[in-house]
Copies of this chain bind each other. A is one copy, B any other.
Amino acid sequence: MTRTWRKDTAHPEAPPRSRTTIADIAEAAGVSKPTVSRVLNQRGDVAPATRRKVEEVAAELGYVPSPGARALRTGRHGALGLLLPPEPWGGLVDVVYGVSEEAAARQMNVMVFPLPAEREAQRRFATTTLPHLPIDGLVALMPDGMLLHRGAIPLSGARIVAFDDRGIRPGIPYVETTNREGVRDVVGHLVAHGCRRIAFTGGTAELAFAQARYEGYLDGLRDAGLPYVPDRVLRSDDDVPSEVEIRRLLTAEEPDGPPDAVVAAWDEIATAVGHVAYELGLRPGRDLALTGFDDRPEVELMFNGLTTVHQPLREMGQASVRLLLEILDHGPGPGNATVPTHLVVRESCGPHAADGTPLPLKSPLQNES
């Protein structure tokens, strides 16, 4: 009877129940604290009978371990951080779910941190807040402009993995996807549909992923031996090009007629293009092939389905956690992980035969040359 009666620190009206500790279990089971600890941590060197007895008593007393005490003792918090970009975006949910699920499967919790929008606040977060966080590692979705090196988390010992980064930040392991190859594939599919005047729109070289997708477009043209036509490329600083710009792209006659296909760098842009196409009397999938990138569920409803490239955000989230834990457990290695995109063929790229073979579109505006 070494334990004194502790008063409840919660609100007065709450019953004065004090926490069950391993000491309580030890006393009730007639063993010592370390033995209880060994049982609870699934360690082998315990007699089966003792084990059963302890587990029984623990369940009976409703024992709940104290995360704080464990963290203090072990130095690990059993938690990961997830750094989110300042601007919310629907796809982030998938990242959050992927990271959380993989973490949960490995008995880890996930803390989320939306980054402030202002640069100074970002710096403060990285230098002041980050090191104090009760996390063992960090999965970071950073704006391309933000630099963060390992040393930025000096004393917490936290390790870091960058999400969707292509080696922009030297020394930081990252998880990426096949932005470039994904667009290359989609161009190939359009070519199989008989498209020859394939346009591209979206993003600028500032955005690393947009640049990669643009290069995939160039790859695709090259694969098919198609010429590069500047008027068929619309790259804009805005998230989504203006209606006027899109209209100009869709009606650019040089050199051999208007585009018979438009590859958008992400689904929202494809949505906008589809809208303008409707205005022009062009129905995506019938008169014009149209593709997106990301495979956002929100746009699935349009055009009887938008053909797009699935970006595996959820799987990338999972991969980030695996990579991070690998680093935490075995130290930093050559690291990095690539999760492949895949083509999702729906209706907006044109008709298909019963066996899935792409068929040509029947564009009323098409000038066969």
Contacts and interface: CB of A to CB of B under 8 A. Distances in A.
A128 to B, nearest CB: 10
Interface stretch (A103-111, A208-216, A250-258): A103-111
A67 B62 contact: no
A134 interface: yes
A69 interface: yes
Contact of A75 (B9, B20, B82, B297): B9
Nearest to A67: B134
A204 interface: no
Interface string A166-205: 0000000000000000000000000000000000000000
B278 A301 contact: no
A301 B68 contact: no
A352 interface: no
Contact of A111 (B75, B79, B132): B79
A9 B104 CA distance: 24
Nearest to A243: B304
A229 interface: no
A296 interface: yes
A351 interface: no
Q: How many identical chains are in the complex?
A: 2
B13 A331 contact: yes
A157 to B, nearest CB: 6
A192 to B, nearest CB: 26
Contact of A67 (B10, B133, B297): B133
**Interface residue range, chain A:** 35 or more
A353 interface: no
A275 interface: yes
Which residue, of A64, A68, A296, has the highest number of chain B Cβ atoms within 10 A? A68
Nearest to A69: B72
Main secondary structure of the interface of A (DSSP, over half): mixed
A34 interface: no
Given A68-B68, A94-B88, A111 B111 contact: yes
A101 interface: yes
A96 B71 CA distance: 26
A299 interface: yes
A240 B156 CA distance: 47
Nearest to A86: B97
B68 A96 contact: no
A32 B109 CA distance: 36
Given A69-B72, A71-B71, A90-B93, A133 B109 contact: yes
Interface in A238-286: 240, 268, 271-272, 275, 278
Contacts of A110: 111-112
23 contacts: A10-B157, A19-B155, A67-B77, A68-B68, A68-B69, A68-B134, A71-B72, A71-B134, A78-B134, A88-B93, A88-B97, A89-B93, A90-B297, A90-B298, A93-B96, A96-B114, A109-B113, A110-B111, A134-B134, A268-B298, A272-B301, A298-B298, A302-B302
> Which 8 A-B residue pairings sit nearest by Cβ, starting from the closest?
A68-B71, A90-B90, A67-B134, A68-B72, A298-B298, A64-B155, A11-B331, A88-B93
